[in-house]
Structure 1
């Protein structure tokens, strides 16, 4: 196994009880690559995050959650894309060489629908250009999904239109540009706050649907609920960064060998969560 020294800032602002970081990116030194080489297993891993505890599978499944819910055969797939230009933060300067491809995981969002209605988006922002700008990546570092300003404004406009009869309340940071509501005025369902579904149309004609559990965030002691997306500005490196909150209770498979991304959509509809992992059931 290979280990390296890291800057102290990498250990800042970690969750309570967390002592370090393991890398699972597209590199020869990631934990996935090292285990694949040393143990002869597939270069593939899956994550299932929740607000309490979660699970990671390295190699192949099966992915089983209690009470004996088999997730493996419920995944749908879309291609994993390679950004040709590294997305390493500028603090790393010239290491690695900026001619390297990105080590992060990108997918191709082709459309967005809210309440079944298409959201008008700029097609050019949804694609990765020759300089590595644009496109969509999956991030466990960003706590919430971050959108290019024009995408953010279009999503907020469509979302608030679909809830035009529900009174809004003052926005709460970090969701200052988006809509917030009294939780009681929306009500709740098994899939979270009772709000319109947000559908991400992906390549291969598959849809990743986000219900209230992943699209909304409860704040102010759960008395207020806000749309859980943030404005990333007019010149972000990546147009859409799907963040941690939107990933919770979704099983996500990163199959590097086959260049494909598998996802379950919310497990709440199966009456289980990512906290209910069971390594003994088959």
Structure 2
């Protein structure tokens, strides 16, 4: 969700027990011997046509919720810009022979699902964009009594027919804004193409074959170009969890500055991550503990202790960052949201301090949806803007460059790309624009988030 895209995506709070599944991959030993990791490109497509359109989309999403190196899978992340989406896509191939599909990479949900050819209400997508199970010799739906079926957060009531020998496992996966995908929970062989052009075949990926898809999150403009979702959340059915045991129970990604020309490649890695960096780069890694919210087990929570602007600590009560007994509050790191959202009292302090310290004149008009916009048209070089630093749990300091939180909404106009969480029960969100240029590692084994600007490439 970079630049003008504030693409909302799947802030889901499923309640289900954790169960670590793994893929039976006969090629895994060969993969480990050949390389420490497999790197998959993340593809990013152009954002929305206007900042106000993208902001309303993002706000809609948020307002409705409140020893030895392990082998690594490394995949390119594809920009969604060319189709009007602000999402990052992963290109995977499903089935035997493989069928190519673009899936949204989303740390805010768990289920991996694709639109299947039997979809009954998918007129908004051409039939050729669907996955065809009948064309795959390795497709197999789970039986409704299969233990994998119980891993789903919820399923249609009485979906298991005790009298039928081949009663499939049905899934119904809903999102905060009422969007849903439903169909058969199945398993399939997956082919991943690496940055080097090599291929890895993984057997037994659990995924949803969607026959009914509805709602803005899965059929609106922000979903344009996608054929499904690669859930990367903390739950047992996510893509990262299914590969977790074999690949070190961690994944990482690097979201590069899409405004550069030509745009550099972003990537997703399942496995080794930061430990595969050269020693001189590895020394620059910072870690902060991942928090667990039992009422929202999907999300990756971190702790913000304080915020400073130009070295001055803001007077924000630390209690505003805490998760309460009802599961409200806290701060989530999310690849599916573009802007950063802070709890209202914290946002007001940030806005007040930035407004007081910014040296540029105000823009003639505010870009709709933003509270602070400045006129940078007279600046021949990069404008001087206030420096923001987050002090996190464990003593780590996250200090993004100004371009990660000031967005050029039109030529010569830059706006503060941080918003307030309007809901009193909502959580703060570190969006993907704030994450640009950092290599982030989600280490579930050690329950920590690592980040560095080394080894990713500076934006």
TM-score interval (norm. to shorter): 0.7 to 0.9
Q: Rg bigger for which structure?
A: 2
What's the CA shift string for 1:26-79, capped at 9, x where partnerless?
A: 111111111124xx22110001112244101101135789xx997444211010
Contiguous gaps of at least 5 residues in structure 2: 1-204
Q: Is the 8 A contact 1:84 1:130 kept in 2?
A: no
What is the TM-score normalised by the length of structure 2? 0.49
Task: Choose the corresponding residue for 2:350, options 148, 155, 164.
Answer: 155
Matched, 1:55 2:240: no
Matched, 1:3 2:198: no
Distance 1:126 1:187, change over 3 A: farther
Q: What pairs up with 1:1-282 in 2 under 5 angstroms?
A: 1-5=205-209, 7-9=213-215, 10-12=217-219, 13-14=221-222, 17-37=225-245, 40-50=246-256, 51=258, 52=263, 53-61=265-273, 71-86=281-296, 102-163=297-358, 165-169=359-363, 170-175=365-370, 178-185=371-378, 188-189=381-382, 193-220=383-410, 222-238=411-427, 240-264=428-452, 266=453, 272-273=457-458
Instruction: Provide the aligned C-alpha RMSD in A.
Output: 2.5
SS of residue paired to 1:18:
coil
Tell me which of the two structures has the higher relative contact order, counting C-alpha pairs closer than 8 angstroms and 6 or more residues apart: 1
For 2:164, the equivalent position in structure 1 comes to none
Rounded to whole Å, the distance in 1 between the matches of 2:423 and 2:226 is 34
Distance 1:105 1:141, change over 3 A: same
Contiguous gaps of at least 5 residues in structure 1: 87-101, 275-282
Distance 1:70 1:57, change over 3 A: farther
Rounded to whole Å, the distance in 2 between the matches of 1:19 and 1:273 is 31
SS of residue paired to 1:154:
helix
What is the TM-score normalised by the length of structure 1? 0.78
Task: Tell me which moved more, 69-78 or 132-141.
Answer: 69-78
What's the CA shift string for 1:141-191, capped at 9, x where partnerless?
A: 22100122211111000111112x43212221231xx211112355644xx
Q: Is the 8 A contact 1:46 1:57 kept in 2?
A: yes
Distance 1:119 1:153, change over 3 A: same
Aligned length: 244
